[in-house]
Structure formats: structure tokens, C-alpha cells
Structure 1
Amino acid sequence: MKINWKARIYNHHFWIAIGIVFFTNLFAMAGVSLEDVTSWSKLGGLVFDALKNPNIFINLCGIIYLAVIDFTTKGISDSALVMSRLQTKSTTKK
């Protein structure tokens, strides 16, 4: 598995995608809506409860895996072009 983690970590779109898939699926699996989570402690409790539940934890890991892999390449590795980048285009200074 060859993934250019440095390029991904500095890309804000990567974190937005991870956050969206994690929280939307967490809420769906827990059976709560966004309106039900009205404080940071409730959100933290929801995440902690999900980590304690093997079913939800395994499902969330699978969903994050799907957000990480690159479907344009064979297998789960990044392309040679992406692997050669030191950083993403969005963080490169012009």
C-alpha cells in the first residue's frame, strides 16, 4: 500500500471528506439527527459510544477506508504522479 500521506494530510479536501463520511454515517448508525447533538459533550459521547461498539467501529473504519483509497489506480496505492509530489497543488506557493 503506497499512499502519499504527506500530500493528503495537507489537503483540506481530504479532511472534509473524512469528516463528512465519518459523521454522517455515525449519526445514521446511532439513529440520531444533527438537531439531536446540541453540545460538544453530546458529540463526544456519541463518538466514544461508537468506538465502544464493535459493529459501528468496524463500519466506520470501512467507510474511512473507502474515502482514503484512490479508485483511479489499480489496487489501493496512489498513482506515480501523486507519489512523486511533496505536497498538494493547493498548498504550493505560486
Structure 2
Amino acid sequence: MLKNINWKVRIKNPTFWAQIVVAIISPILVGLGAQWQDMTTWAALWDALRNAVGNPVIVVSVIGSVWACITDPTTRGTMDSKLAMSYDAPKADKAK
């Protein structure tokens, strides 16, 4: 299922990592009713993560958010296109 995704290119793409971080942190903060300002210590962040793992709604929300970051909506199913599978690095747009 997820083997038809060009992971080596995604791992090299900083945008992918930003999407993953937001996909994990946002549902946790919203689900706990927390704010960025509440995460002022590592202990507070750890407590939020621990509380989130114990909340099935937050866990399902995080899974759904991460799933949305991984799948390519321009292809059928969960795989990357054949063209995307041939890339060795994220494709750069050519200047017009």
C-alpha cells in the first residue's frame, strides 16, 4: 500500500516535514484545548503528548492528518505516479 510512494524524495523535502509536524501538533493542541503559549517547557509539551496518546479522538485525528500529508490526491489510491516514482530529488519548477 505505502510501498508505491517515493519516500526517498519526500524525506528530502522540507515542505513534507513541515506538513507532518503541523499534522501531528495541530490536532493535539486543538483536542486538548491548548495554545502554543502553553508549551513553554519540555515538561508541558511532554504532558500534552502523553495526554493526546490517551485520547482516541486525538489519535484518530493525527492519523487522518498524517494520512492526508502522505497520499497524493492527484493519483488514484495511495501510490505516487510513475513520473514521481522516477525522481531522485524533489522536482523543481522550471523558470518561465
TM superposition score normalised by structure 2: 0.83
2:20 partner amino acid: I
Please report how far the alpha carbon of residue 56 of structure 1 lies from its aligned counterpart in structure 2 after TM superposition: 1.3
Q: 2:21 aligns with which of 16, 19, 22?
A: 19
Which ranges in structure 2 are unaligned for 5 or more consecutive residues?
A: none
Paired residue secondary structure (2:73): coil
1:31-83: CA deviation from partner (whole Å, max 9, x where unpaired):
11111111122112211221222221122111110111111111111111111
2:14 partner amino acid: H
Is residue 54 of structure 1 aligned with residue 56 of structure 2? yes
Q: In the aligned structure 2, how far is the partner of 1:34 from the partner of 1:61?
A: 21
Which ranges in structure 1 are unaligned for 5 or more consecutive residues?
A: none
Q: CA RMSD in A?
A: 1.4
1:6 partner amino acid: K
Q: Between Structure 1 and Structure 2, how many residues are aligned?
A: 90
Please report how far the alpha carbon of residue 23 of structure 1 lies from its aligned counterpart in structure 2 after TM superposition: 1.1
Identity among equivalent positions (%) equals 34
Paired residue secondary structure (2:74): coil
The answer to whether the Cα contact below 8 Å between 2:52 and 2:59 also exists between their aligned partners in 1 is yes
Q: In the aligned structure 2, how far is the partner of 1:73 from the partner of 1:53?
A: 32
